[in-house]
Amino acid sequence: MGPSAYFYRMNLIQDIREYRRIDLPRLHQEVEYYKNRLSSLVAIQQAALGHTPVGNQVMINPHQRRPPKGSKPIAMKALTEIQEDLLNVASFEELFLMIKDVKDGVNGVGPLWAYDTALRIGWYLNLYPNQVFIHAGAKQGAKILLETNCVGMENLGRYVSLHEFPKELHSLAPFEVENFLCLWNKAHK
C-alpha cells in the first residue's frame, strides 16, 4: 500500500469514526421514531410528509424540503389508499417499488422522496434494504469513494452490494452506508 492509499484509508477510517459518533445516533433516533409509531396510518402519513425527530421535536427532513408545496400531501393520500398493500409486502425492495409507482403518479416528488419514504415505512414494518441504495448525494458519494478504490463505475445501478465498498464500511447496514455516502459526498465537494 503506497503512501497516498494509506492516507486515504486513514481518512476514511476517521470519517467513519466521526459518522458513528455524530450522525449514526441521529439516524437511529429516526429509526426508533418510526418503529414506535402508534399505527401504520400514522407511520405512512409521517413518512410521506418527511417527518424526522430532532431532539424532542419533529421537523421536516431537509431532504424533503424540495418538493413543491402540495405534492407531498397528494403523495401521502395516494399511499394511504394502498395502505393494506404496503403493509403486506415481503421485502424493502417490494415496498420501494410500490412507493416508486406512487411517486411516478405525483408531480413534484422524486426518487429521493420515494427512497426516504420507503425507508421510514420499512422501519415501521421492520423491513430494511439488503443492498446500498444509490441515488442523489449517495450516488455522488459512491462515485467519489468507488473511483478512489478503482472499482468499476459501470456497475452503479439503483443498488450496489455492500461488498463493492471498502471493508471499513462493511460493519454498517446498507441503509447506514447510504446515509454515510450522502454525508460523505457533502464533505468531499
For residue 57, pLDDT beyond 80: no
What distance in Å separates the CA atoms of residue 72 and residue 86, rounded to the nearest whole number? 17
- To the nearest whole number, what is the mean pLDDT of the chain? 84
Partner residues linked to 59 by β-bridges: 52
**What pLDDT score was predicted for residue 156?**
53
Q: Is residue 156 within 8 Å of 143, Cβ to Cβ?
A: yes
Q: Is residue 143 within 8 Å of 97, Cβ to Cβ?
A: no
User: What is the reported pTM?
Assistant: 0.86
Q: What is the pLDDT of residues 123-132, one digit of tens each?
A: 999 999 999 9
The dihedral of CA 150, 157, 114, 118: what is its sign? negative
C-alpha cell at 168: 471499513
**What pLDDT score was predicted for residue 160?**
86
C-alpha cell at 129: 434494504
Plot region of 50 (φ>0 → left; ψ -120 to 50 → alpha; else → beta): left
Which candidate, 21, 182, 69, places its Cα nearest to that of 116? 182
Q: What is the pLDDT of residues 141-163, one digit of tens each?
A: 887 777 655 444 455 557 888 98
**What pLDDT score was predicted for residue 90?**
97
